[in-house]
Structures are given as structure tokens and as C-alpha cells.
């Protein structure tokens, strides 16, 4: 029976949530096309991760070796290449994260297996495997058919599938770690947490987030004043941090923080998936954008198509700002 592998992403003691979304997809492929799902855990001292993920899929394969203690392309890829060559899964899934993006396209090239990255959907039909990707900042969905091959890779965009629930105890087996590269060219020196700063946007019940639409650093105090009036914490998209208008601790998104406020108000944010992936089921999502086709409106509960400064001024006036 053809197999689908889910590469388990773990970091600093926990399995990343995106892994459980890949589990859901693997289960769907089992239900629709009979693929046998298996989780693959690579690392050092990863028995606890194997135990955890074994509650989600019928089989877990573990490659455990001290050489795999820190994530490094050369060592992890060596372990995975060996496993994939020996077991020949039809499909290997990984989260579309720094982990998946570093590992999967290079493995695909080295093993000569087609790869689709950043998929929002992967399906198996009569014609073979197909994938859907969102391109042009979410404006278009493209459907890809994989060229016939012995096996495939896909990375899955966070938020595309609901995280799986547990499904009983699966089996766990070890796969021997192959010889590691004698002289790896990269070295993992450790993790460094970004400074938490004075705010913790992950805990705020109400967030007022600004994007590139804020235009100039001179307009940031206006947004801050409105946030203060509303009792909200000021957050932002990545370009605002890149321009150093606000600190990194306020950035929402895949390379920033994941937030789950009761109210999320987005001013001048287009709604790129990297941003929206950081906004997990807010109570109410309000978006203000002058472009009626902005992807943010697909995520928002309430949308205002208008100049954001007009709305900010109107709100400030309503709230009695001087």
C-alpha cells in the first residue's frame, strides 16, 4: 500500500501545531485514496515526541541519534534521504515553515521527486496527485498536477487544514540513523528569543493592527492614540517592523506572533497569508482597506472599504478625542 509520510516539526520541546494540520491532510488522503499515513520524527532523544504523535497516526517512524540534536539541513536530510529511499512513500508532507522550506525543496531536488510548496490543498484523484497553491498575495489560486514520478513532496500552508485530534495509539518503530556527513558545513549555535518588549500582543483581548497603509512613521502615534482610546494594544504587519516603525514584538504573523484576541481591527493591511496565519480565530475581525479586492476581506467578519485615516478620525471623534 502506498504511504504518505508526515515530517514532524518540533522545536525546543514541543511539536509545532502545523504538524497536526499535515496529519489531518494525511488522514484525508487515507480516506480518499487509501494512502497509509505514517509520522516521521527525526532528532535526538525524541521518544516523547514519538509517543505524542503516535496518538494521531497508525504508525510513527523514529530516527533518533545524537547527531540529530539540532535541526541542520545536512544531518536531517541525510537521515530522511535514507528513510525515503528505503521505504519509498508516495508522498512526503511537511509544514510550509522555515523547517519545511529548508528541508523539502532541497530533498526533492536531491531525490529527483517533484515538489509543490505552500499548498492549501493536496488531493489524490484518478489522474494522480494534485495541489492547490495561492499565488499573487492570495489573489489567485492555482491548481497543479504533478508530473508522473515514483514519489512526491508537498509543504502545507499553516491554517489550510484544521489541526487533527488524537485517534488512538499507533505503533512506533525505529529506523537506524545512516552515516552522517563527516564535515557538516553549518553549525546550530542555539535559539535566541526575540525581546518581549513592554507589550505582549498574544494576551491582549483587543488588537488594533496597522499595515503598510499607515504610510509614514509620523502617522503611527495617531494609531497608538486610537488604540489607547479603544483600550486596544497596537499591533502591526511585517513591513511596519521592517521599516522600524514598531518593534518586532508587535508583529502578527508567521514570522511574528500568533494572536487570538476577542477583537482584531486591521487598518491598511492587505491580508497576506503570512499575516493572517498569525490571527487565529479572533472573536470579531474588522478590516479597513480602501481596496475592495484586498484578501483581508475574506478573513474579516466586517469590512470597511474606505481610506483608513478617514475611519480613524471618525472613530477618534466618536470616542471623544481632542
Ligand X SMILES: Cc1cc2nc3c(=O)[nH]c(=O)nc-3n(C[C@H](O)[C@H](O)[C@H](O)COP(=O)(O)OP(=O)(O)OC[C@H]3O[C@@H](n4cnc5c(N)ncnc54)[C@H](O)[C@@H]3O)c2cc1C
Binding positions for ligand X, rule: CB under 6 A: 211-213, 237-239, 251-256, 268-270, 272, 274-275, 278, 288-291, 294, 307-309
40 forms beta bridges with 7, 61
Would you state the cell numbers that stand for residue 308, as one nine-digit string?
Answer: 483608513
Nearer to ligand X, 76 or 275 (CB): 275
Task: For residue 314, give Cα distances in angstroms to 310, 317, 321.
Answer: 6, 5, 10
In the bound state, the residue with its beta carbon closest to ligand X is 253
Cβ–Cβ under 8 Å, residues 272 and 213: no
Kind plus residue range of the DSSP H or E element containing 152: strand 152-156
Least gap, CB of 51 to ligand X (angstroms)? 31
Nearer to ligand X, 113 or 238 (CB): 238
- Residue 243 phi, psi (nearest 5): -85, 0
Least gap, CB of 23 to ligand X (angstroms)? 23
3 state DSSP class of 229 = helix
Least gap, CB of 266 to ligand X (angstroms)? 8
Cβ–Cβ under 8 Å, residues 194 and 250: no
Least gap, CB of 307 to ligand X (angstroms)? 5
Least gap, CB of 98 to ligand X (angstroms)? 8
Whole-number Å distance between alpha carbons of 288 and 305: 6
Least gap, CB of 285 to ligand X (angstroms)? 14
Nearer to ligand X, 43 or 261 (CB): 261
Nearer to ligand X, 19 or 289 (CB): 289
Whole-number Å distance between alpha carbons of 43 and 52: 14
Nearer to ligand X, 230 or 304 (CB): 304
Least gap, CB of 90 to ligand X (angstroms)? 28
Nearer to ligand X, 24 or 270 (CB): 270
Kind plus residue range of the DSSP H or E element containing 289: strand 284-289
Other CB atoms within 10 Å distance of the CB of residue 296: 25
Nearer to ligand X, 95 or 278 (CB): 278
Other CB atoms within 10 Å distance of the CB of residue 104: 25
Would you state the cell numbers that stand for residue 177, as one nine-digit string?
Answer: 540513523
Amino acid at each position: 500500500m502506498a504511504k504518505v509520510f508526515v515530517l514532524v516539526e518540533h522545536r525546543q520541546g514541543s511539536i509545532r501545531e502545523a504538524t497536526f494540520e499535515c496529519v489531518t491532510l494525511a488522514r484525508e488522503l487515507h480516506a480518499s485514496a487509501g494512502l497509509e499515513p505514517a509520522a516521521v520524527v527525526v532528532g535526538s532523544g525524541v521518544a516523547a515526541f514519538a509517543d505524542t504523535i503516535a496518538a494521531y497516526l497508525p504508525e510513527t517512524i523514529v530516527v533518533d541519534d545524537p547527531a540529530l540534536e539540532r535541526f541542520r539541513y545536512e544531518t536531517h536530510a541525510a537521515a530522511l534521504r535514507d528513510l525515503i529511499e528505503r521505504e519509498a512513500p508516495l508522498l512526503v508532507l511537511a509544514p510550509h515553515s522555515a523547517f519545511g522550506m529548508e528541508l523539502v525543496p532541497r530533498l526533492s531536488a536531491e531525490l529527483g521527486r517533484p515538489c509543490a510548496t505552500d499548498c492549501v490543498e493536496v488531493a489524490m484523484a484518478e489522474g494522480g496527485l494534485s495541489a492547490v497553491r495561492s499565488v499573487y498575495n492570495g489573489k489567485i489560486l492555482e491548481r497543479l498536477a504533478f508530473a508522473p514520478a515514483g514519489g512526491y513532496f508537498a509543504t502545507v500552508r499553516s491554517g489550510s487544514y484544521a489541526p487533527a485530534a488524537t485517534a488512538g495509539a499507533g505503533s512506533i518503530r525505529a529506523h537506524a540513523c545512516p552515516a552522517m556527513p563527516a564535515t557538516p558545513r553549518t553549525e546550530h549555535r542555539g535559539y535566541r528569543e526575540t525581546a518581549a518588549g513592554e507589550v505582549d500582543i498574544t494576551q491582549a483581548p483587543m488588537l488594533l493592527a496597522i499595515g503598510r497603509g499607515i504610510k509614514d512613521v509620523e502617522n503611527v502615534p495617531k494609531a497608538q492614540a486610537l488604540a489607547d482610546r479603544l483600550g486596544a494594544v497596537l499591533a502591526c504587519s511585517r513591513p511596519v517592523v521592517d521599516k522600524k516603525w514598531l518593534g518586532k514584538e508587535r508583529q502578527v504573523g508567521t514570522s511574528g506572533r500568533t494572536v487570538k484576541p476577542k477583537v482584531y481591527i486591521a487598518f491598511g493591511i492587505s491580508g497576506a497569508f503570512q499575516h493572517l496565519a498569525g490571527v487565529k480565530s479572533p472573536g470579531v475581525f474588522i478590516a479597513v482597506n480602501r481596496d475592495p479586492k484586498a484578501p483581508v476581506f475574506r478573513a474579516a467578519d466586517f469590512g470597511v472599504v474606505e481610506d483608513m485615516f478617514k475611519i480613524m478620525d471618525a472613530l477618534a471623534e466618536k470616542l471623544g478625542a481632542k
